[in-house]
Structure 1
């Protein structure tokens, strides 16, 4: 099927967002997609904050975006918007880095007051970067994500069903674009 880049914009090493993306990545892999994970926090801070477009790590990250037919973008919500770390990376990518790509935006946060961050903060940026199709995203409350001491993740039943549904919609959209020969290679 398609190659999917799963991007975590969380600055935290113990990020629920990153764990949730890996959980959804397993679901996409089971559907036949190749999933590549990119934790933005692992990129060199000096390259991100210094806008070093030519830094080898930034060049590699941009190549991952170019290679993917689909992109899952996950971020914690801070101050009613996506993370500054994610913004730093998006600013270093080519203007139309998402051209021809199917994109699934996801966000996590502590309050339902931030549920519109996907539609009012993240979606416009993804659209401006040329995304061919941005499927409906999903906001997950932190309280619905539980991480055990061994690092395993569990998601509250209603949230798990909703996440499976949006992930299936993303997979179907990818499959349709791939079958129609519309995927960028």
Structure 2
């Protein structure tokens, strides 16, 4: 099965975007894929802003992108565009970092007025990095909550839509045959 890296581009510690990325990654794990979550807000700010890829944390993050078969890129939408944190990280990646990789864009926002940011802001930069951009999903913040045990709760309609989106994405993922001993 494929290795999928889920990037969370939210700078917030209490991020609905991160919850959505985690929920999507869990669904992909349930389908048998290996998943890793990278919360960009946990990267060190000074090296990130300086694009210092010699920093061990940034080098590891860039390596995770290179090693992934596919990516989920989740971001909050601010002022009709993806987060500056995500932009800063994407800017330090090699030009063709996503070449040939399926990428599922996810976005959250407070108003449906921001829904076009997926196609007009995020999709072009993912395409420029070489991604095979899959049909993404925009989710209103109010449709994402958590249970007392920390489990992610999505509005029923959103859950169904996200499941369909994840199914389409899963079909685009490369499959790896299990390694067998010689």
TM-score by length of 1: 0.92
The answer for the alignment partner of 1:61 in structure 2 is 61
2:47 maps to 47
Map of 2:179 onto structure 1: none
C-alpha distance in structure 1 between counterparts of 2:99 and 2:57, whole Å = 21
Deviation string, structure 1 residues 31-55 (Cα, Å, up to 9, x no partner): 0100000000000000111221221
SS at match of 1:36: strand
Q: Counterparts of 1:84 and 1:147 in 2: how far apart (Å)?
A: 26
Which residue of the partner structure matches residue 123 of structure 2? Answer: 123
Q: Secondary structure at the match of 1:178?
A: coil
Post-superposition shift, 1:148? Answer: 3.3
Inter-partner Cα distance in structure 2 for 1:51 and 1:45: 10
| 1:157 pairs with 2:151 | no
Give the aligned CA root-mean-square deviation in angstroms. 1.3
| CA shift for structure 1 position 75 | 0.3
Pairwise CA distance, 1:153: 1.6
CA contact (8 A) 1:100 1:130 kept: yes
What's the offset of the Cα at 1:146?
1.2
What's the offset of the Cα at 1:157?
0.4
**CA offsets per residue over residues 81-133 of structure 1, 9 Å max, x none?**
000000010011111100110000000000000000110000000000011x2
**For residues 7 and 158 of structure 2, what CA distance do their matches in structure 1 show?**
20
Q: Which secondary structure state, in structure 1, belongs to the residue aligned with residue 159 of structure 2?
A: helix
d(CA) in 2 for partners of 1:77, 1:58: 24
2:172 maps to which residue? Answer: 173
Count of residues in Structure 1 that have an aligned counterpart in Structure 2: 177
Structure 1, gaps ≥5 residues long: 180-185
Equivalence for 2:105:
105
